Structure 1
Amino acid sequence: MPAYQTLYRDVLKYIEDNIDENLNVEALCKHFGLSKYHFHRQCSAYFGMPLISLVRLLRLKRAAFQLAYRTEEKIVNIAIMSAYDSHEAFTRTFRRYFNMSPSEFRQSPDWTAWQTKYSPVLKLRDKIVKDKHAFQVKVVDFAEVKLAVLPHLGSPKLLGKTIQSFIQWRKENNLPPSKSRTFNLVYDDPNTVAPEDYRFDICCSIKHDVPSNQHGVMNNTIPRGKCALIRHIGSDDSIGLPLTYLYYQWLTSSDYKLRDFPVFFERISFFPDVPENEMITDIYLPIEST
């Protein structure tokens, strides 16, 4: 990989690892031993935005995840963690990016307005994953797992409300990620299906059947069988790349065909509990011999 690509990947990793620190051009130049006269323009060209804008977007994304999925955290504390001097300053900026206040977003997470402003980071993630390395695929025998499932049907930008409801159900049933494995069943590509038809199941492993409940959580099973496995380390922003590789490159050159079960994820570590670049997601493609 060219040295400049490695540098920019390292810069992004450093920003994500130190998102709570005072991140500015001078500090980054000092850390990487680079000239401040060129570093800012070079990074802006590669990242597709000024460095300070990238830092602000990454902080706001973490804040939004904390608002939606860590409801025990006070909004004022999230504002301070996001480097805002006051609740009011945080609210003004958050509203500019999400078209709603932090408290409104916490009540009903909606990522619609955010997506347009965040699109340069999505492109950046794809670029870095493509530059980084070839995907490593393993063929594994997956043991059957009994699931509690909350289906989501509708725009992926509204998935947050479904996730909130499932988190609440897990809390009520004492099934935190430390006790129960976390899965997603992935039926559709959000880039190719109409938003109202998008299906995505939020799941966790269970030992006993799910009783009737107000959340709509139901029973399902991941069946035993062979799977092609890629471990994805990093943000969900770029998780489509290993999926595409599995379907359109690895599968077509293998001696396997697809089984009648959707691709699924196992979430090993979660954002915002860990930085985005440290997220671990195992991607399973159900297969069988041809």
Structure 2
Amino acid sequence: MTTALDNYHARLLRVLDYIDAHLDQDLDLDVLSRVAAISKFHFHRQFAATFEVSVHRYVQLTRMKRATHALAWNEAQSVTDIAMDAGYEAPDAFARAFRQRLTQSPSSFRKSPDWSSWLSAFGPLDSARNKLMKIIFDYEDIIIREVPSTPVALLRHRGDRAKLPQTFETFRAWCKAAGLAPETGRSSFMVFRSEREPVNPEDYSMDICVAADPEISVTAPMQRAVIEGGRCAVLRYPGQTNNLEPAGLFMYRDWLPQSGEEARDFPAYVERKLVPVAGTQAHEVVVELHLPLK
């Protein structure tokens, strides 16, 4: 029964990965039910029952989220083009849906994004994916390896997580200007210095970094730092995600106590990098959670 359930959940997670990778294509029930290998007459009910959001709404939210990224970070793309990419035939319809979801017009969001509303609007996406994340980890998924020290340019975030998108916006802009964007193959890091949701939101603390060789000039608001090398337990996360809490819980709560290992006095961190897919021009995001060990 456990194997059958795991296989079933894996098929539904495959649908989420497919949606992420094919937002510009037709994502109707016929297509997605085939990806899941589930009858289309039952697929939409099973999807909604599992993720607590309909497949249609999930696709809409995912496309809308991509649209917010384009508005915030791609000034060259017009609002009309962004609306079309999000699946709307007219900018007015896109503007109404955008305002309903984020309480701002697209043009207002482009000038001054309200990231608190953004987090609230797209919470269901993280929530849906996390419904099944807890079942996918196994002790054999974690490997211990010697990790080299990595010089980085670092940007500190201190305070409410609702302000994280603004910090990431600053980080991305600096990386782009410095020629260190993800497309260059550079690894980026997030060093977790507090709980994901501390009792006092202002106690949230995280460092955002990008690999930067010593010869690279690091200017404000970034500062030079080093991701310490040494032995690490490493867990590769399946697919792209912004919530690594399930993986962190598995490592700390389940794996570490039975492993005989001890955590080193350095925070857990995640490394992300774009790697080419063999035989294609596409890239995939590799996400690895590191737990430093003594």
TM-score (norm 2): 0.83
Q: Per the alignment, in what secondary structure is the counterpart of residue 207 of structure 2?
A: strand
Contact between 1:94 and 1:100, CA under 8 Å: does it hold in 2? yes
Q: Per the alignment, in what secondary structure is the counterpart of residue 262 of structure 2?
A: strand
Matches within 5 A, 1:142-157: 142-157=147-162
1:229 Cα deviation after fit:
0.6
The aligned residue for residue 279 of structure 2 is none
1:27 Cα deviation after fit:
4.5
Q: Does 1:19 align with 2:28?
A: no
Q: Give the direction of change, closer, same or farther, for the CA distance of 1:216–1:82 in structure 2 (3 Å limit).
A: same
Matches within 5 A, 1:193-232: 193-208=199-214, 213=219, 215-232=220-237
Q: Give the direction of change, closer, same or farther, for the CA distance of 1:27–1:246 in structure 2 (3 Å limit).
A: closer
1:130 Cα deviation after fit:
2.8
Per-residue deviation, residues 88-145 of structure 1 (Å, max 9, x unmatched): 2222211211122223333444332244444443332122223445261111111111
Q: Percent identity?
A: 30
Distance across 2 between alignment mates of 1:169 and 1:32: 40
Distance across 2 between alignment mates of 1:49 and 1:130: 18
The aligned residue for residue 100 of structure 2 is 96
Q: Give the direction of change, closer, same or farther, for the CA distance of 1:158–1:45 in structure 2 (3 Å limit).
A: same
Q: Give the direction of change, closer, same or farther, for the CA distance of 1:108–1:261 in structure 2 (3 Å limit).
A: farther
The aligned residue for residue 163 of structure 2 is 158
Aligned length: 282
Q: Give the direction of change, closer, same or farther, for the CA distance of 1:50–1:260 in structure 2 (3 Å limit).
A: same
1:26 Cα deviation after fit:
4.4
Deviates more, 1:6-15 or 1:138-147: 6-15
* Aligned mate of 1:59, from 54, 58, 63: 63
The aligned residue for residue 44 of structure 2 is 40
Q: Does 1:68 align with 2:36?
A: no
* Alignment RMSD (CA, Å): 2.7
Distance across 1 between alignment mates of 2:123 and 2:237: 21
Distance across 2 between alignment mates of 1:6 and 1:161: 34
Q: Does 1:189 align with 2:191?
A: no
Q: Give the direction of change, closer, same or farther, for the CA distance of 1:287–1:72 in structure 2 (3 Å limit).
A: farther
> What stretches of structure 1 of length at least 5 have no aligned partner?
none
The aligned residue for residue 236 of structure 1 is 241
Q: Per the alignment, in what secondary structure is the counterpart of residue 134 of structure 2?
A: helix
Structure 1 counterpart of 2:247, one-letter code: P
Structure 2 counterpart of 1:167, one-letter code: R
Per-residue deviation, residues 156-215 of structure 1 (Å, max 9, x unmatched): 2221211121222223322233153211211122223422221121211222377674x4
1:238 Cα deviation after fit:
4.2
Structure 1 counterpart of 2:70, one-letter code: Q
Deviates more, 1:122-131 or 1:109-118: 109-118
Q: Does 1:124 align with 2:134?
A: no
Structure scoring higher RCO (CA < 8 A, sep ≥ 6) equals 1
Contact between 1:80 and 1:86, CA under 8 Å: does it hold in 2? yes
1:56 Cα deviation after fit:
0.5
> What stretches of structure 2 of length at least 5 have no aligned partner?
276-281
Q: Give the direction of change, closer, same or farther, for the CA distance of 1:192–1:207 in structure 2 (3 Å limit).
A: same
Deviates more, 1:251-260 or 1:112-121: 112-121
Contact between 1:148 and 1:210, CA under 8 Å: does it hold in 2? no
The aligned residue for residue 13 of structure 2 is 9
Q: Give the direction of change, closer, same or farther, for the CA distance of 1:261–1:107 in structure 2 (3 Å limit).
A: farther
Q: Per the alignment, in what secondary structure is the counterpart of residue 234 of structure 1?
A: coil
1:282 Cα deviation after fit:
1.3
